[in-house]
C-alpha cells in the first residue's frame, strides 16, 4: 500500500506547529496504524530527520495511551477501536490520511501528537475512589452485589482514560470520562458513603480543569473505543443535582 500522510508537527508546547506531508510506501494491510508510524519514523531517522513523537505503550487497546485524531475522528474510522488496534486494512491504497493530536485547552500539546492528559488524573484524585485503607476490608462475599449492578458498574469501569471523548466533543467536555468513574462507584454498595461528596468534588474538578459542559451530542459515546454509554452522564447529572440541591 502507498499512502499520503499529513501529520501535525509541533516542536514543543510553546511553538506554533503546522502540518507536514509524508509519502509512505510498502505498507502491509496487516500492520497496525502505529506500526505504519514506526516504518515512517525509521525512515525519518535514517534520513537524518526528526521522528514523529506519539504516545503509545501497550499496543493492545487497554492502556489508553495512544491518542491520534485520524481523518477527523479520534482513533480513526472504526468504532470501538483504539489507534493501536486500528489496522491498515481499514484504509485503501493511495489514501490521504490526516493525523492530528487531541485538541482541547485542557490537553495542551507536548510535542507533535503527544498531549498532556494529567487533568484526568486530577479529576480522579478529587474523588474517583472509595476511601478504604489497606487492611480495613471485610470478606469479599459479605457484600452481595446483584449481577445487573455489578455488570453495569463494570461497563462504566471499562473506561481506559484515553481522552477520545474530550477530543471528539464539540465542547471538549470530560463528562463521559468523569461520569464513567462516578457511575462505576456510585452504583456499588461500597460506593454509597461517599456518593454525593464524590460527585460534587469530581464535577467541580472537571470544571476547574477547564473542560467544557455536556450538551448531549453523543459524540463521546460514538467515538469511545470502549463504547461507554452516555447513560453514565445521566447518572452523574442525577447525582449532581441531588448532591447540590437536596443533600445537606
| Interaction residues for other proteins, span 167-186 (CB under 8 A) | 168, 170-173, 184-185
Select from 114, 176, 182, 228 the one that contacts other proteins (CB under 8 A): 114
Least distance between other proteins and beta carbon 2 (Å): 15
Contact with other proteins (CB under 8 A) among 3, 161, 176, 196? 161
Q: Is 209 helix (H, G, I), strand (E, B) or coil?
A: coil
Site for other proteins in 7-36 (CB under 8 A): 11-12, 17, 19, 28, 30-32, 34-35
Q: For the segment 35-54, give every residue that binds other proteins (CB under 8 A).
A: 35, 38-39, 41-42, 44-46, 48-51, 53
Based on the shown chain and the rule CB under 8 A, indicate whether residue 1 belongs to the binding site for other proteins: no
Q: Does 136 bind other proteins (CB under 8 A)?
A: yes
User: Is residue 17 within 8 Å of residue 103, measured between CB atoms?
Assistant: no
Contacts of 199 by beta carbon, 8 Å cutoff, 6+ apart: 127, 182, 186, 236, 239, 240, 243
Strand 3-9 relative to strand 96-100, pairing: parallel
Gyration radius from the chain CA atoms: 20
Q: Which is nearer to other proteins, 59 or 94 (CB)?
A: 59
Strand-strand pairing, 3-9 and 18-24: antiparallel
Dig out the grid coordinates for 97 from the structure.
490520511
Report in angstroms how near the CB of residue 43 gets to other proteins at its nearest: 9
Q: Give me 189's grid cell.
A: 454498595
If the CB atoms of residues 23 and 156 are measured against other proteins, the closer one turns out to be 156
Amino acid at each position: 500500500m502507498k499512502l499520503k500522510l499529513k501529520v501535525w508537527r509541533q516542536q514543543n508546547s510553546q511553538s506554533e506547529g503546522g502540518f507536514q506531508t509524508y509519502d509512505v510506501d510498502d505498507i502491509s494491510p496487516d500492520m497496525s496504524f502505529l506500526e505504519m508510524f514506526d516504518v515512517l519514523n525509521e525512515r525519518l531517522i535514517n534520513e537524518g530527520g526528526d521522528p514523529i513523537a506519539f504516545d503509545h505503550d501497550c499496543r493492545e487497546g487497554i492502556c489508553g495511551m495512544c491518542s491520534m485524531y485520524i481523518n477527523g475522528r479520534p482513533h480513526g474510522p472504526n468504532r470501538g477501536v483504539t489507534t493501536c488496534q486500528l489496522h491498515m486494512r481499514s484504509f485503501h491504497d493511495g489514501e490521504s490520511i490526516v493525523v492530528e493530536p487531541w485538541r482541547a485547552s485542557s490537553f495542551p500539546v507536548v510535542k507533535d501528537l503527544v498531549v498532556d492528559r494529567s487533568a484526568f488524573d486530577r479529576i480522579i484524585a478529587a474523588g474517583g475512589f472509595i476511601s478504604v485503607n489497606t487492611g480495613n476490608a471485610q470478606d469479599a462475599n459479605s457484600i452481595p452485589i446483584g449481577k445487573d449492578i455489578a455488570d453495569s458498574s463494570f461497563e462504566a469501569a471499562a473506561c481506559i482514560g484515553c481522552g477520545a471523548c474530550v477530543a471528539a466533543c464539540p465542547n471538549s467536555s470530560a463528562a463521559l470520562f468523569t461520569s464513567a468513574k462516578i457511575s462505576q462507584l456510585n452504583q456499588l454498595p461500597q460506593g454509597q458513603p461517599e456518593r454525593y461528596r464524590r460527585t460534587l468534588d469530581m464535577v467541580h474538578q472537571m470544571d476547574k480543569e477547564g473542560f467544557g459542559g455536556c450538551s448531549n451530542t453523543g459524540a463521546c459515546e460514538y467515538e469511545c473505543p470502549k463504547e461507554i454509554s452516555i447513560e453514565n452522564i445521566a447518572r452523574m447529572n442525577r447525582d449532581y443535582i441531588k448532591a447540590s440541591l437536596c443533600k445537606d
